[in-house]
Every structure is written in C-alpha cells, then in structure tokens.
Structure 1
Amino acid sequence: MKTQAKTAERLTVLTPDPLPLREHLFDDGAALAAALARAVAADLRGAIARRGEARIALSGGNTPRAFLAELSRQTLDWTRVRVVPADERWVPPEHPRANARLLRETLLQGAAAQATLLPLWRPAPGPEAALLPVLTEVANRALPLDVAVLGMGEDGHTASLFPDLGADRPGLREIGLQPSGRAPVLAVRTAAMPEPRMTLTLSALFTAPALYLHIEGAKKREVLDGAARDPRSPLPIRAVLAGAPQPPLLYWCP
C-alpha cells in the first residue's frame, strides 16, 4: 500500500546558526512535483489577479522535469505569464543542454505554450558579449519576479552561482551573491562545467516574494543542512539561506 506524501509545512531552525527552512517533505518525486506545481500556480494566479501579469524564474537540470510538466497542466491565464531561466548554458537554444529547450519541452506545452519565454542566450561568441542586452531585457521585462524556483547541485551551487564564482574575475562573487544590488545577471565561467553561462544574481532572484528550493536526494539534503549550520560556509546555497528576505520554501524528497 502506497504511503501518503508528507505535505505539512514546518519551520526548522538548524543550530548552532539559526537559519530557518520552511519545509515541505514528500515520500517521492511525483508527489513533490504535483504539490510544488499547485503551490507555484497559486502564486502565479495571485500575481495575475493583483497586477495583471506574473513573472517566474525557473531552474534547469534533470530534477525539475516532472515539476515543470505538472506545472504546464495547471489552469491559469498563461498568456499573462513571463518565464525566465534562472540560468543558461552558453549553447544554442536547440542544444540538449540548453535550459530554454528544457522549458519548451516540459513547461511550454498545451495551454502553457502561450506563456512568454525570456531567454538568456543570444547569438554571441560568449556571455560577456551579450551581457548588456540580456541585462536590459531581464531588468525591463522579468523583474521584479513573483516566483523563483531554485535547485541545488551537490557542490552547493544554485542557478549558475558556483563555489568558484569570481575565481577568474575578482569581485564577481560579491556581485552575484549579494542580497541587493544593481546587477540582475552575470556572465559566468566555472571550472566545474564545460560551458560558459549566464545567470540571474541573488539580488534579482530575491525580488520574488515566493522563493522555493526544489531539492531531491539524501546527498543534497546533507549539503544543504551543512551549509545552513555553518556560518563560514562559502557555498552559494548558504548565501541564499542567509540573504533571502524570508525563509525559502524547501520542497524535498529522498
């Protein structure tokens, strides 16, 4: 007999450093995806009711596929929704590793295909060359966000804010990870990944009053809890927990 997913919210304070997490815990990824989709859709409907449109930043990778597919089936006025990737690999939009392609194949289906996608990629040799036009579009059309859904890698990165951020250009880490600032996007190069990237900064992501962390697996949970407990942690996910205007909503399953 299948067990019921645990969906009750609880506020967990991890000691000795009191960084709270508002937790939604589930038995499996399918239950998580369905619940997260319902919650995010409710946020989008609320934003549309308040000001006529909604803006959402969504992460890529393998983890959010089921959630994005569930979100595409939610009932709302998708013509009033703007979608921006939280980050993008510097590859053409048809490339298998492109987050824009992931969003088109999973979220932008059926009625949800009427949403407006604001891609971070441009036909330029590198993200640095496209920084100004991307920054301008994000600032004018994507911000402020209503919802941001972030993931996390086992190295503690989120979006394309990696632990070695700023290794090639001093000061980049401070710009990318400060809670408030004027730079909504960054061009990123990391030794951890083969491609250059464009990413939203935390100051852009933190404009969303609804901030979700979608994390699956015991290893990632261990990394998250370690970063929450350690005030000296250099991991970008620590900057999310420490700098967010309110505790993020964690959706997690083993």
Structure 2
Amino acid sequence: MQAERLKVIEPLPLPLHERLFDDGEQLAQALAKQVAADLRGALARHGEACIALSGGNTPKRFFQALSTQTLDWARVTVLPIDERWLPPEHPRSNERLLREFLLQHNAAVARLLPLYRPTETPEAALMPVLTKIANEGLPLDVAVLGMGDDGHVASLFPDLGYDNPALREIGLQPRGRAPVMSIRTATMPEPRMTLTLSAIFTAPALHLHIEGEKKRAVLDGAQRDPRSTLPIRSVLSGAPVTPTLFWSP
C-alpha cells in the first residue's frame, strides 16, 4: 500500500496588472500617456483632478514626459506622496523635484499642494498639513508609487517594524482616518511627512513605477509570500483596485 503523499499548494500571487518595457525611456513615455489619460478622465467626470507622485531619481524622465502632455493642467492639483523635512530649495526636497521636472511646459500652470511647512519638525506641522490635504487634496484621482530596494513605499519603511503601532494602525491601514503621518527612521537622515495608504487608496488609478532587476525581485517576493511584512505587500494586498506595474530593467 502506497504511503499517502501530501500535495503542497503554493499560495497564489497577489493580483497585479503588468506593463513591461525594454528601457526607462519607453516606460516614462507610456506612463506619462496613461497618467494623462487618467487625469483627462477625472477632469471630464468632475471638473478637476488631483494626482500624488513619488520622489527619488527614478521618476525624473516620467515627470518630464508628463509635463508635455496636453490637458487642462490649470485644473490639476499635484502633491508629493511623501516629503523629507527639508526646505524646498534643498537638493533632496521632493517639492523641488516636482517644480524642476514636472511643473514646466504644459504643466507649469498646475497647482502644487506641498507637504512641507517651515517648522522645525514635521510633528509641529502635522495637523495643519493633515487638514489641508484632507480638505483640498483628497480624494485623489491618480497615485503613482515608487518602491525602494527594501520594499518601502511612500515613506513607510520596513525598518519601522510591522509591529510598530503607528505604522500598522495609521500608515498601512487601508481604510484609516489619517491621510498623513510624520515618520522617523534610523536608516534615513531626515524626518519625513508621508501620505498613508488610506489616502493613497482613494485614487481609482493606482500605478507602480519600478525599474531594475533588484527591485523587481523584491516586488515578486512580496507579491508571492503571504508572510511578507514589507510595505509593498500591504499595497498589493490592501488596494481597492488592482495596481498597474510599469517596469523596465
């Protein structure tokens, strides 16, 4: 009599639409066209549109391509998904990044809704920023998230610890009440302000802009491993709409 053999059933990966490109320039152009279409749709539906965008080096080409798209930019509000607590003239400021690479050409007339305030700490500005974003920035129409090599999104970092009450109950809560939170982490030199997932998830168009094989491996691991506590896993598992991945090597 044969011994019974147990069949191991691998968990299904979380859903994710994928658009793959040969290089970053092709990706930037395609993402810009898609986001412009998303914004035109929002403008047609309710006369205005709001988009939240991630910072860093990866989106620069995308921002430049988006800035030349034809739409009624005067009725579009742009806000950073997160911000280092640095003045807007600082090279590491995401507000500066948006002003230099996106708010030019056709997009020069768009309205910028910054997260930074001239206070010593982000905690000191939290309530005014929270109120401003809740009243004038939400709901979003489009959100474009990046991802770090460590699986962080926005300024929601894995080294904060999934058991950190603020990260779990505010930052990663898909239907939380707080649209923004202040962040401090040992691996980053500056404190930050960030949108929470509950704010990001108000966008009916949710895109992930990721480049490079290393980041793709991190994303694939989080997508397939139900034990993963990386913030990108919380995006994939909690999003009310299936995100679309724009990826190139």
TM-score where L is the length of structure 2:
0.94
> What are the within-5 Å matches in structure 2 for residues 163-182 of structure 1?
163-165=158-160, 170-182=165-177
Question: Is residue 20 from structure 1 mapped to residue 6 from structure 2 by the alignment?
Answer: no
Question: Is residue 49 from structure 1 mapped to residue 44 from structure 2 by the alignment?
Answer: yes
Select 1:222's aligned residue among 205, 217, 220: 217
Select 2:89's aligned residue among 73, 91, 94: 94
**After superposition, what is the alpha-carbon deviation per residue over 1:124-182, rounded to whole angstroms, capped at 9, x for unaligned?**
11110100000001000110000000000000000101002368963333210011011
Match of 1:150 in 2: 145
Q: Give structure 2 stretches of 5+ with no counterpart.
A: 1-9
Question: Alpha carbon RMSD of aligned pairs, Å?
Answer: 1.3
> Greater CA radius of gyration, 1 or 2?
2
Question: Is residue 243 from structure 1 mapped to residue 238 from structure 2 by the alignment?
Answer: yes
Using the TM superposition, name which of 240-249 and 163-172 deviates more.
163-172
Match of 1:103 in 2: 98
Q: What's the CA shift for 1:35?
A: 0.3
Question: Is residue 184 from structure 1 mapped to residue 179 from structure 2 by the alignment?
Answer: yes
One-letter code of the match for 1:111?
N
One-letter code of the match for 1:55?
C
Match of 2:7 in 1: none
Q: Give structure 1 stretches of 5+ with no counterpart.
A: 1-14
Judge conservation of contact 1:175–1:201 (CA < 8 Å) in 2.
yes
What secondary structure, in the 3-state scheme, does the structure 1 residue paired with 2:209 have? strand
Q: What's the CA shift for 1:21?
A: 1.0
What secondary structure, in the 3-state scheme, does the structure 1 residue paired with 2:152 have? coil
Q: What's the CA shift for 1:185?
A: 0.1
Judge conservation of contact 1:150–1:212 (CA < 8 Å) in 2.
yes
What secondary structure, in the 3-state scheme, does the structure 1 residue paired with 2:83 have? strand
> What are the within-5 Å matches in structure 2 for residues 62-141 of structure 1?
62-141=57-136
| Number of positions where the alignment pairs a residue of Structure 1 with one of Structure 2 | 240
Aligned identity (percent) is: 74
Sort the Cα spacing of 1:168 and 1:179 in 2 relative to 1 into closer, same or farther, 3 A.
closer
**After superposition, what is the alpha-carbon deviation per residue over 1:19-55, rounded to whole angstroms, capped at 9, x for unaligned?**
0110000000000000000000000011011110000
What secondary structure, in the 3-state scheme, does the structure 1 residue paired with 2:25 have? helix
TM-score where L is the length of structure 1:
0.92
Judge conservation of contact 1:37–1:74 (CA < 8 Å) in 2.
yes
Judge conservation of contact 2:201–2:240 (CA < 8 Å) in 1.
yes
One-letter code of the match for 1:198?
M
Select 1:193's aligned residue among 174, 185, 188: 188
Sort the Cα spacing of 1:50 and 1:186 in 2 relative to 1 into closer, same or farther, 3 A.
same
Judge conservation of contact 2:11–2:226 (CA < 8 Å) in 1.
no
Judge conservation of contact 1:147–1:208 (CA < 8 Å) in 2.
yes
One-letter code of the match for 1:247?
T
